[in-house]
Every structure is written in C-alpha cells, then in structure tokens.
Amino acid sequence: MAKKVIKRSWAEPFKIKVVEPIKMTTREHREKAIKTAGYNTFLLESEDVYIDLLTDSGTNAMSDRQWAGMMVGDEAYAGSRNFYHLWNNVKKYYGMPYFVPTHQGRAAEHMISQILIKKGDYIPGNMYFTTTRLHQELAGATFIDVIVDEAHDPTNEKPFKGNIDLKKLKALINKVGAKKIPYVSIAGPVNMAGGQPFSMKNLKDVYKLCNSHKIKLWFDATRAIENAYFIKTRERGYAKKTIAEILKEMTSYFEGIWVSAKKDLMVNIGGILATKNKKVFEKARNMVVVYEGLHTYGGLAGRDMEAMAIGLNEMVEYDNVRARIGQVEYFGSELDKYGVPYVRPVGGHAIFLDAKKILSHLPQDQFPAQTLAAELYLDSGVRGMERGVVSAGRDPETGEHRFPKLELVRLTFPRRVYTQAHIDVAVESIASVYQNRKNITGLKMIYEPEYLRFFQGRFKKL
C-alpha cells in the first residue's frame, strides 16, 4: 500500500501567557453601533468589535522579554539609558548612525518632509501612503506615483508589485529636472498596493539611476522586515541570507529612513527617524524638541524605548516573520475556497478584499469599500478598514475626489494576537457577505473633515 503523503504544518514560535477577553455582540447591537459610527469603522468603540483587523499598527502583543524591559524604563528627562539601547539597535539593524526617536511614524514624516522639501518640489514614490503624502504636500511638494502598472491590478500575480517603474521615474526627472526632486520616497512593502514588496534588483536599479542625478533615496521602513522576507523567499540569490542581512543590504541604498515602530517592532507606540546624513540629523534633532520632546525621548517614555529596542531584536527572527506572513497566506487560501476576490499575491500585513469587484453594482462615488467594511462588521463584528476613494481624498488642485484604481477593504493582522480559529471565523463571515453581495446598497458621505478624511468622515445608507 502506498504511503499517504502527510502535510507538515508550521505553527507560531511562541505560546500564550496572558489573555485578553473579547466580547461577542448581536447583530442588533452592531446595527446600532455602526449607525452611531456613521458607517465608519474608525469611529466604532473597540468594545463593540469582536475580531479587530482594523490595523496592525500598535495593536501587537509584546513578548515577555519586552514586558520585562518595560520595568527597566529609565524615565530621566535627559539621556535615558533606554534611548542608548535603542540607538545601538537602530545602528545595528538599520545601519544608520544618526537617530531621533519620535512618538510615531507620522511625526518622523512631518520632520523629514519639512527638512528636505521646498515649495514646488516633486516627490516620486512607489504609490502613496495617506500620512506620508499629506506631509509631503503640506511641505509644498507634489507627490508623483511611479510604481509599476501591475500594482494597480489586483489580479496580477507578479512577485514584486511594489517595484518602481524606471521609465516613469526617468520621465519625471527629464520633465521637472533633478533639482526639483529632493528625494525618492520608497516604501516596502507598499501598504496601499496590498502589502506588495519591491525587489533588491529594482532597488539597486533605482539607486543607480538616482545616484547619477544626485537624487537621494529615503525609505519608509515601517514594514521593511516583511519586504526582506519576500526578497528571501521570492528573489534569486537571497534564500540563504538572514532577514537581518537582507534588511541591512536594503537600507544601505538609502540616505535615511523613517519608521512607524508600531508595526515591525511589535510595540504599541513609537517612531524612528534615522540617517547617514549628519546635517539632516542635526536639523531633525533640533526640530524634535519643538514638536515631540527632548532628542533622547522624542515623545516616548523610557520604557517605550526599551520595548522598541527589544522589539528590534525580535523582528529579525525568521520564525516570527514567517508565522506572521503564514497567517496572511492561510487567510488567503481559505478565502479561495469561496472564490472571494482579493489582491494577489497575498501581501505582508493584510488581506485586501477587492470591493470594486465584490460590489460591482455600486459606482465608486457610493464608496464600495466603505460599504463593504461596514457590512462585514454588521455580519460578525469583524472590523476592517476602507482603502479606496475615501482614503485617497481630494486632489488639492481641483478639489475633486481622487478615484484610485484600487477600491479595497483591508483586513490587517496584528502581530502575535489572533489564532487560526479567529481567521476561520473571519473568513466565514466574509464568505456570507460575499454570497449576499447583490442586496447591499451604497453610502453617501455626510461629514468630511479637511485632512485624512477616512479617519473621521461620516456616512449614511442610501
């Protein structure tokens, strides 16, 4: 008798020591809650959420080592020992000698945009991120998307859809001149494209081109570990390199980085601005005292910096990132059983449901992704977020909605928080909403704040 092929599974490289109860609610309760929240999942009270896939930002479970680190916080106003632990690890893992802590990523984005950008400049980047682009625009720049076309196609299976299209970048340099481009803004993986990575080869090519025009590269390294994982598993020549080695090679092409530590570093708060450029560092170190706090704490407690320093050691462990992306892959393969369309290939931090396709009967100005996120919450208490026309905001020139090609609902995985059973529950809820999709009606926006409207905008059922 032929031997049966036995599947060998993977599992998380940790076990659970502390648990936090979550509440299950009735549909009736959720109907009231989402109406009160103006059909915006950002405005729900988290007590009313069952499985929270809104974001992986600051929602991570810290390790026992990180919690132990919290107890050795040195809360001195100046020169906290935890600052020096963190600085050492920033040098060690990102290879950047100069460092300023910030309370979160957008504070670093704000400072670097103000320091590097002059009014009338252009910032090319591999697709926009909401807060990043806003800070670049507030500093007087125009953001130009130079990502490869495949990034805008949810069905395209190319492994590096976060790559920069060199032709688009060259065309921009020729059009506006290198002097008007203070830096290229590169993120990896690309959040708004579905967590799609760039390849090392593409990064090297972009570096070569920019170097010849004396244009610097700056890296939004918020989820750089996931990009390093994809390079290791998808790009020729990297299978045997460690995550830490790949990260170091990536950052070597950049003049500097900003990081929302609330992601890769598996903490609840924190940000990093780090660079090789001493002049830029000196400006940032001066600016941080205006907006955040002294340059040895940058809006953080000493204990937060210690948790970040330990988080840096943990983030480069292969088994951690493998289990993280393994969860997202499992989610995708379960959705495939029901034929639910989502952005392919599976990205680093989240599954992005293709709301344009799922609610194809709704025009984009009825906010299909906003609608789908609300419907999913109604069905089961699973919370995701809109990543479509609401997130894209309005064109600062024309005041019109920016209609992005991608109209998505993001279901994001906090690190080390949910189990495979939670994923099953979420998948089954999505499958039910998908089956019932033809009966779903759209939304009308009834309140729109000036900046980052997806956070606080309110809607009404049509």
| Pick 154 or 271: Cβ nearer ligand F0G | 271
CA distance 380 to 382: 5
**Smallest distance, Å, CB 326 to ligand F0G?**
20
CA distance 99 to 287: 13
**Smallest distance, Å, CB 15 to ligand F0G?**
27
**Smallest distance, Å, CB 387 to ligand F0G?**
9
Q: How many residues does the chain have?
A: 462
CA distance 4 to 136: 58
Burial of 327 (0-12, 13-18, 19+ CB in 10 A): buried
Here the tokens at position 280 are: 């830029």
CB atoms within 10 A of CB 63: 19
Asked if 86 contacts 306 with a C-beta cutoff of 8 angstroms, the reply is yes
Work out the widest C-alpha separation in the chain, in whole angstroms.
75
Task: Please provide residue 204's backbone torsions phi and psi, each rounded to the nearest 5 degrees.
Answer: -65, -40
| Pick 110 or 303: Cβ nearer ligand F0G | 110
**Smallest distance, Å, CB 16 to ligand F0G?**
24
**Smallest distance, Å, CB 136 to ligand F0G?**
12
Here the tokens at position 322 are: 């493998």
Helix axes 420-435, 368-380, angle to 10 degrees: 120
CA distance 240 to 130: 35
| Pick 105 or 442: Cβ nearer ligand F0G | 105
The helix or strand, by DSSP H or E, that contains position 310, with its residue range, turns out to be helix 302-315
Provide the CA 401 distance to its chain's centre, in angstroms: 23
Provide the CA 427 distance to its chain's centre, in angstroms: 21
CA distance 174 to 177: 6
CB atoms within 10 A of CB 30: 20
State the sign of the Cα–Cα–Cα–Cα dihedral 156, 161, 163, 164.
positive
**Smallest distance, Å, CB 132 to ligand F0G?**
6
| Pick 37 or 193: Cβ nearer ligand F0G | 193
**Smallest distance, Å, CB 239 to ligand F0G?**
26
Tell me which residues touch ligand F0G (CB under 6 A).
55, 57, 104-106, 129, 131-132, 187, 191, 220, 222, 260, 262, 271
| Pick 59 or 66: Cβ nearer ligand F0G | 59
Question: DSSP string covering 181-213, please?
Answer: --EEEEESSBGGGTSBPPPHHHHHHHHHHHHHT
CA distance 402 to 108: 26
User: What residues act catalytically?
Assistant: 77, 129-130, 220, 263, 387, 454
**Smallest distance, Å, CB 189 to ligand F0G?**
9
| Pick 187 or 427: Cβ nearer ligand F0G | 187
| Pick 271 or 302: Cβ nearer ligand F0G | 271
| Pick 314 or 386: Cβ nearer ligand F0G | 386
In single-letter form, the type of residue at position 152 comes to: H
CA distance 411 to 385: 7
